[in-house]
Amino acid sequence: MDIHEILEHLPHRYPFLLVDRVVEVVPGERIHAYKNVTINEPFFIGHFPHHPVMPGVLIMEALAQAAGILSFKTLEEKPSPDNVFYFAGIDEARFKRPVMPGDRLDLFVTIERQMRGIWKYTAEAKVDGQLAASAKLMCAKRDL
């Protein structure tokens, strides 16, 4: 999926869109996407000016956005003004290496289960094949 199709499957927009491309998506199972991390990211101005590091919460958000794309593809739906996927939980979050400008942050998300609008995922973010972060994520689809 290129950026145009990603924009059809996520409600997020700059500066909060954190998925640049989807390499592979298997609806109902898994997704591999990535974020190109550049020095132009607005958060690097203050985190940290002398040693820019991508905030861990934004790595988790990037994983959640990849999970959102996977969920919409699984449901064969697109975002609408009538509903939203909320980030409902993060368990077992671990950060193993810093993510810096110039890195390509590969996002791997697998659906563990889905029941009554609650989705659970296993997620990993990697840079150059090295684990940068991992977590169990939970999202909830809700009508507005």
Active site residue ranges: 47
Question: For 9-36, b where at least 16 C-beta lie within 10 A, e where not — what string?
Answer: bbbbeeeebbbbebeebeeeebbbbbbe
106 with 127: CB under 8 angstroms? yes
Compute how many other C-beta atoms are within 10 angstroms of the C-beta atom of residue 130: 9
62 burial via Cβ count (<10 Å: 0-12, 13-18, 19+): buried
Q: Do 58 and 74 touch, CB atoms closer than 8 A?
A: no
Q: How many residues does the chain have?
A: 144
- Closest CA relative to residue 109, chosen from 35, 49, 55: 35
